[in-house]
Amino acid sequence: QVHLVESGGGSVQAGDSLKLSCVVSGLTESTYSMGWFRQPPGKERERIGNTDNSGRANYADSVKGRFTISQEVNRNTLYLQMDSLKPEDTAMYYCAAAPGKIWWNYAPAAEDFDVWGQGTQVTVSS
């Protein structure tokens, strides 16, 4: 069974960078997708971006050019590099896994993912 643990959150100033990690265990499928989501206070969970076993990554327009998703070759860690952070990036950040699934020309929603981490808080002050 897949298990995800996020880390790396914290409090930073606007313009700073932060790198989140998501340690993945139990993922045995050769085909899979992984994603990063966030949930600002009082708002719904929103997609940041997703990647898959090919290494392709797609991003939401709100973070394109500032955030980068990557994964280690041995698949056991997913990263989210966040640059030029803004106060509106303040949220709880989650990684998610969809074993056995990949998508083409489709921005997956939260319900498309089957496994979730516990989240890590990111707070950006102006």
pLDDT in tens, 17-43: 999 999 999 999 989 999 999 999 999
pLDDT reported for residue 75: 66
pLDDT recorded at residue 105: 84
Confidence of residue 57 (pLDDT cuts 50, 70, 90): very high
Helices (H) and strands (E) in the chain, counts: 0, 11
Instruction: State whether residue 112 is helix, strand or coil.
Output: helix
For residues 48 and 107, what is the distance between their CA atoms, to the nearest angstrom?
Answer: 10
Q: Is pLDDT at 54 greater than 70 in this prediction?
A: yes
Tens digits of residue pLDDT in 85-125: 999 999 999 999 999 999 988 999 999 999 999 999 999 99
Chain centroid, CA 83 distance in Å: 14
pLDDT at residue number 47: 97
